[in-house]
């Protein structure tokens, strides 16, 4: 299990480096999908499969919208890839920074925290993440309504900002 979690954490860090170092929205969106998948894998390994599934689906839906807007606004005929000169230099600098920050943490203190949330699952009737979903819907219903309103407002603001001089997507037909 620790090898799988190590692979997921390594993929998460490498995906974050790929997003941070790439100026092209095409490859950055691919890096964000990799980061979302690896992060959800870490959540599953800690005992939150339902939360991971919901987060992955919502995140991929949001990424689809962001990728469509960024690809429409920055349509480059020849985008820079991860192996271009400047992008590879930034990736090298970020990898060096991660290794430099990880050297003091290399002693092994973190392995104690790799215990899943459902370690005593056979003694429990409910899983940890399902109980949290029930609480979110029972006591946090108004927060869900407010979150939906904020997302709708954000969508309208993005549409207004990206329409340009012509009337764009929000025009009367």
More confident residue, 171 or 54: 54
More confident residue, 100 or 131: 100
Entry pTM: 0.63
Q: Is the pLDDT of residue 119 over 70?
A: no
How many C-beta atoms surround the C-beta of residue 6 within 10 A? 12
Q: Which residues contact 18 (CB under 8 A, 6 or more apart)?
A: 27, 28, 30, 31, 34, 82, 91
Positive or negative, the Cα torsion across 21, 89, 17, 84?
positive
More confident residue, 153 or 25: 153
Residue with tokens 């609480």: 135
- pLDDT the model gives residue 96: 94
Q: How far apart are CA 14 and CA 8, in angstroms?
A: 10
């Amino acid at each position: 299990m620790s090898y799988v979690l190590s692979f997921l954490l390594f993929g998460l860090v490498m995906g974050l480096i790929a997003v941070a170092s790439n100026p092209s929205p095409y490859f950055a969106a691919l890096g964000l999908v990799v980061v979302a998948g690896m992060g959800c894998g870490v959540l599953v390994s800690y005992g939150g499969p339902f939360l991971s599934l919901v987060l992955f689906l919502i995140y991929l839906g949001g990424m689809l919208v962001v990728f469509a807007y960024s690809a429409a606004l920055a349509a480059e005929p020849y985008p820079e890839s991860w192996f271009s000169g400047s992008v590879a230099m930034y990736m090298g600098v970020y990898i060096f920074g991660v290794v430099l920050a990880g050297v003091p943490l290399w002693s092994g203190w973190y392995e104690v925290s790799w215990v899943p949330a459902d370690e005593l699952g056979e003694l429990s009737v409910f899983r940890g993440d399902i109980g949290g979903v029930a609480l979110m819907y029972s006591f946090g219903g108004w927060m869900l309504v407010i979150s939906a309103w904020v997302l709708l407002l954000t969508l309208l603001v993005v549409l207004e900002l990206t329409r340009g001089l012509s009337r764009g997507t929000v025009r009367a037909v």
